[in-house]
Structure 1
Amino acid sequence: MTEGREKGFETLQIHAGAQPDPTTGARQTPIYQTTSFVFRDADHAARLFNLEEVGYIYSRLTNPTISVLQDRMAALEGGVGAVCCASGHAAQIMALFPLMGPGLNVVSSSRLYGGTVTQFSQSFKRFGWEARLVDFDDFDAVRAAIDENTRALFCEVINNPGGSITDIEAIAKIADEAGIPLIADNTGATPYLCRPIDFGATIVVHAMTKYMTGNGTAMGGAIIDSGKFDWSASDKFPSLSQPEPAYHGLKFHETFGPLAYTFFGIAIGLRDLGMVLNPQAAHYTLLGLETLSLRMQRHVENAVKVATWLENDDRVEYVTYAGLESSPYYKVMQRISPRGAGGLFTFALKNGYDACVKFVDSLDMFSHVANFGDARSLVIHPASTTHRQLSPEQLKAADAGPNIVRLSIGLEDPEDIIADLDQALTKATA
């Protein structure tokens, strides 16, 4: 790509990180489906393993197809580097891995995907980590939850399932006051609608499985580093600021500067946790990214039409879409995510749990799946599926009560989407 002016989003989503294949001239990034790479000689191998030279060793660590995806994700989010891994849940573990240790905690929003709540509140205990879930709309509560053992704040930009918006600009200021990073999950917004780093986030994570791929074919996660955090400003982050025994005392922050967190994620995170993304999944995601902006525009347009129709239907108690002027998050959305509130939201049925189940079973065009962000419209009843491990209190905090249905609005004709919802509502409330 030519040097000079900063490239637009639509250009970056197609070109960032990629060049025609130097050997064959192939224009699309090839799938390098190989486990390992031949070294030039013994000295070359030693330099790679000592982190003295960047290159390819083994596909658990680095792979040319995945490298293009990492560069593109970093470019789209405005970061200095990225690490791609096997899933969104893997990305969450890997994002916290350099920061945490036994007895330490992360303060997290209570409005999270149900699987994330379970991962944070249950599985983290196996590492000796603590997750403190609080309402991130209550800034005083966030501050009160932070103590000397807190190593990060964590939130979703557009919350799953309710679609509410986190004021990441305000939360980032709280993180700065405490001298800790803010990790923002941008899965629901994508960098086309919001770039959390522009609002002060230190690290961005993604489940690329959703909108980034956009076709429901590949799992994947990503961690993007802003490169702006001073890991040596305190003794809170020894993995990055202190000598690393596995690399003969190398100090990641001292050696790699703004790329310290990214290099740690590859050299230690992928090396030891092994949460590797496969090259074919990276290829599918790269194909999806080429149309991200076009798809997100249509997701938003359709979601506004569908949410407005639902809000005016007497069979519906309320709609949570932040793109509606009636939403308490509408003004935050205009500031944080001015291109729209995405395609994910919930609505409450007046007839409760049984009506929700009947509604889901009565839909024809919507697919009943545990995913969102596809080109096709998707539906699920969180309380009986994605959030069923949560307590009643956690369900309420996550906006996933028994009378709630989650919709992921796709790219179909909006009149067809509404017609399907209408007939299902009729059957569910008869």
Structure 2
Amino acid sequence: MSEGPSYGFDTLQVHAGARPDPATGARQTPIYQTTAYVFRDADHAAALFNLQEVGYIYSRLTNPTVAVLAERIATLEGGVGGVCCSSGHAAQIMALFPLMGPGRNVVASTRLYGGTITQFSQTIRRFGWSAKFVDFDDLDAVKAAIDEDTRAIFCEAIANPGGYITDLDAIAGVADAAGLPLIVDNTSATPYLCRPIEHGATLVVHSTTKYLTGNGTVTGGAIVDSGRFDWSASGKFPSLSDPEPAYHGLKFHETFGPLAFTFHGIAIGLRDLGMTMNPQAAHYTLMGIETLSLRMQRHVENAVRVAEWLEQHPKVARVTYAGLPSSPYNDRVARICPKGAGALFTFALKDGYEACVKFVDSVNLFSHVANLGDTRSLIIHPASTTHRQLSEAQQVAAGAAPDTLRVSIGIEDAADIIADLDQALARV
């Protein structure tokens, strides 16, 4: 298929990156379950290893099934290239890897998935990196947090767990003024609801485990490169602008231009970090993406109905869904997520922590799991699970207070979803 501006999202989610198998004519992308690839001759092998020719060497780096997925996600996001890896957490490390170094920091939103907060506040310190967490509604605070050692700004388009929508245009303006790349996690929105690159994002990361795959079968991650950032302008990103010793002094930005980050992610990131996506996982995700728009439409329709019902329930203290007129972020929906506010949000119970624990033990249709973005409706109590390692103050800042439950609304019959919530609330 030749992708172009004439193709709509629904067409691209089925066809982008995929071509009939040249050996067999197979219409569906095959699972290339192989570790290595035969070179045509010695010169071909040398050219591949020198990055003078694009092709397949070893499946830690590139694999035909995974390559189709990377191209499809990049196309849907409006980027120039993409790299797929083993999980969403791997995607975050790989996104930061070419940018950071000992003593460098990333300015991150306080409204992030609990695992990301832990990764940024604890684990990356072992690399000599650090993170500054700031309320991204306070643009002056974001600006003040940036210093000479800052190398990136990080946020989620629709934040997990609360469904908070980030003002990407405003944050991108801050990043541009500082000459820094903006990295946006678009897992909860998907490119169907939000395209962060159109709002100024430099890089987009995904946990493909969630809505992109949509069936709760495999883990995976992706990084999409907008191709718009000048990595050589400031001297702050030597991994991309300066000679690379492992490739005889090759300069990634000078050599690959808009695709510099993508090539670095494969040739250095996957080569040395080894956070490889397996081809079967890529296959499941490709099949999931074929129905992404259809699923997201139903997810959003159901989420609106469920959130409206919960907001009226006498045992519910608050509902954070941005699609509700009462939400302080409702005005951002039309601008940032014009097709809907997603299907991930929280609600608080008036009776607090113990009521929340009782509630998750009382649901029947909902699955109590540490996941989101499945076709099934899912629920979790973040304070006792995904955000357990955080202090109560951090939990509150992240939108995961002790009295709060997170729901990922599935594509079941909305009346059945509401009925399950109703019977569980009756037991609290």
Q: Shorter-chain-normalised TM-score: which range?
A: over 0.9
TM-score by length of 2: 0.99
Determine the structure 2 residue equivalent to 1:225.
Answer: 225
Letter matched to residue 207 of structure 1: S
Determine the structure 2 residue equivalent to 1:292.
Answer: 292
| 1:5-84 equivalent positions in 2, closer than 5 A | 5-84=5-84
Determine the structure 2 residue equivalent to 1:251.
Answer: 251
Determine the structure 2 residue equivalent to 1:202.
Answer: 202
Q: Distance in 2 between matches of 1:85 and 1:5?
A: 28
Q: Distance in 1 between matches of 2:21 and 2:405?
A: 46
1:147 aligns with 2:147: yes
Q: Given that residues 187 and 207 in structure 2 are in contact (C-alpha distance below 8 angstroms), is that contact kept between their aligned partners in structure 1?
A: yes
Q: Distance in 1 between matches of 2:350 and 2:3?
A: 57
Determine the structure 2 residue equivalent to 1:368.
Answer: 368
Q: Distance in 2 between matches of 1:111 and 1:79?
A: 25
Q: Distance in 2 between matches of 1:3 and 1:136?
A: 35
Letter matched to residue 239 of structure 1: S
Determine the structure 1 residue equivalent to 2:325.
Answer: 325
Letter matched to residue 87 of structure 2: S
Q: Distance in 2 between matches of 1:336 and 1:373?
A: 19
Letter matched to residue 179 of structure 1: G
1:169-197 alpha-carbon deviations (Å, 9 max, x no partner) = 10000000000000000000000000000
Q: Distance in 2 between matches of 1:312 and 1:117?
A: 32
Secondary structure of the residue aligned to 1:58 is coil
1:354-394 alpha-carbon deviations (Å, 9 max, x no partner) = 00000010000100000000000000000000000001111
TM-score by length of 1: 0.99
In structure 2, relative to structure 1, the CA distance for the partners of 1:218 and 1:155 (3 Å cut) is: same
Determine the structure 1 residue equivalent to 2:414.
Answer: 414
Determine the structure 2 residue equivalent to 1:378.
Answer: 378
Letter matched to residue 99 of structure 1: L
1:141-172 alpha-carbon deviations (Å, 9 max, x no partner) = 00000001100000000000000100011000
Q: Distance in 2 between matches of 1:271 and 1:148?
A: 30
CA RMSD of aligned residues (A): 0.7
> How many residue pairs align between the two structures?
428
- Structure 1's consecutive aligned runs of 4 or more residues displaced over 4 angstroms after TM superposition are 2-5
Determine the structure 2 residue equivalent to 1:311.
Answer: 311
Q: Distance in 2 between matches of 1:97 and 1:3?
A: 30
In structure 2, relative to structure 1, the CA distance for the partners of 1:4 and 1:240 (3 Å cut) is: closer
1:183-218 alpha-carbon deviations (Å, 9 max, x no partner) = 000000000000000000000000000000000001
Q: Distance in 1 between matches of 2:306 and 2:165?
A: 19
Determine the structure 2 residue equivalent to 1:184.
Answer: 184
Letter matched to residue 148 of structure 2: E
Letter matched to residue 228 of structure 1: R
Letter matched to residue 305 of structure 1: R
Secondary structure of the residue aligned to 1:25 is coil
1:15-46 alpha-carbon deviations (Å, 9 max, x no partner) = 00001111111100000000000000010000
Q: Distance in 2 between matches of 1:122 and 1:41?
A: 47
Report the Cα offset of residue 5 of structure 1.
4.5
Q: Distance in 1 between matches of 2:146 and 2:6?
A: 38
Report the Cα offset of residue 2 of structure 1.
5.0
Q: Distance in 1 between matches of 2:4 and 2:236?
A: 39
Q: Distance in 1 between matches of 2:289 and 2:144?
A: 39
Report the Cα offset of residue 6 of structure 1.
2.6
| Sequence identity percentage | 76
| 1:53-202 equivalent positions in 2, closer than 5 A | 53-202=53-202
Secondary structure of the residue aligned to 1:28 is coil
- Listed as ranges, the gaps of 5+ residues in structure 2 are none
In structure 2, relative to structure 1, the CA distance for the partners of 1:77 and 1:415 (3 Å cut) is: same
Q: Distance in 1 between matches of 2:118 and 2:4?
A: 46
Letter matched to residue 112 of structure 1: L
Determine the structure 1 residue equivalent to 2:423.
Answer: 423
1:214 aligns with 2:209: no
Letter matched to residue 65 of structure 1: T
In structure 2, relative to structure 1, the CA distance for the partners of 1:12 and 1:4 (3 Å cut) is: closer
Q: Distance in 1 between matches of 2:394 and 2:334?
A: 28
- Listed as ranges, the gaps of 5+ residues in structure 1 are none
